[in-house]
Structure 1
Amino acid sequence: MTDTPKPFHIVFLLFDDITQLDFTGPAQVLARIPGAVMHTAAKAMEPIQTDCGFAMLPSVNFVDCPQADLLCVPGGFGTKGVLQDEATLQFLRDQAAGAQYVTSICTGSLALGAAGLLEGKRATTHWAYTALLQKFGATYEKGRVVKHGNVITAGGVTSGIDFALTIVAELGGENLAQAIQLALEYDPDPPFKSGHPDRADPKLVAMLHERVYDSTLQGLEEIIDAS
């Protein structure tokens, strides 16, 4: 007779203009944990617009959301709105108080910081926004996955898959994590070696800063400084 695994509640925060892969990448991995129960929580039970032109439906609102064993905050340009929404920040504080793991992907770490959950912690975020972590009392540590106590933060977007496999290994052992990695054929071999500023052409890094990240960074900085 096989024992039924204890439910392990995983709560992802959803918000408009979310980077969908921040959520769907790790969700695909974490859903395979024995006993995993997935919840997608939003302020209201309305379609959430992603950064890819399609919408997702949350499974639960903040009021009805069960206590998370693992709380995860994805990132995206919609992080600006999260930083200014006290109801969302309070939801994160309330959930974090009872969670086994408090986690984020990409700029989701800034939301954890705004909720007061990164004070004194080592953390990471998307490479373009690492300077903002110090504003929340956190210390930036270079890495795709950074663990400090029960707080685990991942770098930009695809780092979420590495983060999820790290969680699986901690909960169920490396054999389970490796089996899931194999089942998903997660065997990165990108056609270009430009996935991080340390390896990319400096001209490409400068172009992205100029066209995308500098203005977003300034906007986020202004929001954080005004809070």
Structure 2
Amino acid sequence: MSIESIAREIANVDREINSIERSIQPIDASITRKRKEINSLFDRIAKEKDFKRQIGYQKDLARKNEEIGNLEKQRSTKSKSLADKQKKKLDLQSKLQKENQKERDKAKKEQKEILSLQQQITREMQKQKIQSLHSFDVLKPNLIDQTNYDVFVSHASEDKEDFVRDFVKCLHEYGLKVWYDEFTLRVGDSLRRSIDQGLKNSRYGIVVLSEAFFNKEWPQRELDGLFARE
């Protein structure tokens, strides 16, 4: 049973209660009036000396008592009906209160679910934002190094340990600014882009020729780049 239908039924019962209460009022008034008339008859009987008139008053008294009895029966019936309606109203109000509580609980649950969904959406959006930023950081080109170098050292990685690393250190000790992959490349840098930029920004190039050098693709590209720059 919906809240609206319960509320309508309560309103109907209220109207019925009011109608019964209004119908009881004239009955109460009639009972009060007839009791006053009975009291008046008692006074007349007590004062009356005429026996026939006393008998007449006695008959009137019996009739008034009968009328009051009938009125009280009517009032009793209506009072019972009134009590039934009032009980029905209380039951409906209790039912309405329970339904309202159900609606409040339902609304509270829905609000909680909405809040949970909003939080989930917020977390997901934040996650996607972080992933997007991460993807952007991965995909975006690193800032091009605009540093100018005195010397670009082109070599094969096999020659680092035996010669190149110590040779570059000596160049540094003489105050030369050297582009050397171990010192210049950073995590995330593009090897080809960094080499191209190093070649572009270096005044001179030094090529460490060896058997390993000629077996490597990258060192030969560096050499080609040096010749192209020349």
Tell me which interval the TM-score lies in, with the shorter structure as reference length: under 0.3
TM-score (norm 1): 0.24
More strand by share: 1
More helix by share: 2
Pick the structure with greater CA Rg: 2
TM-score (norm 2): 0.24
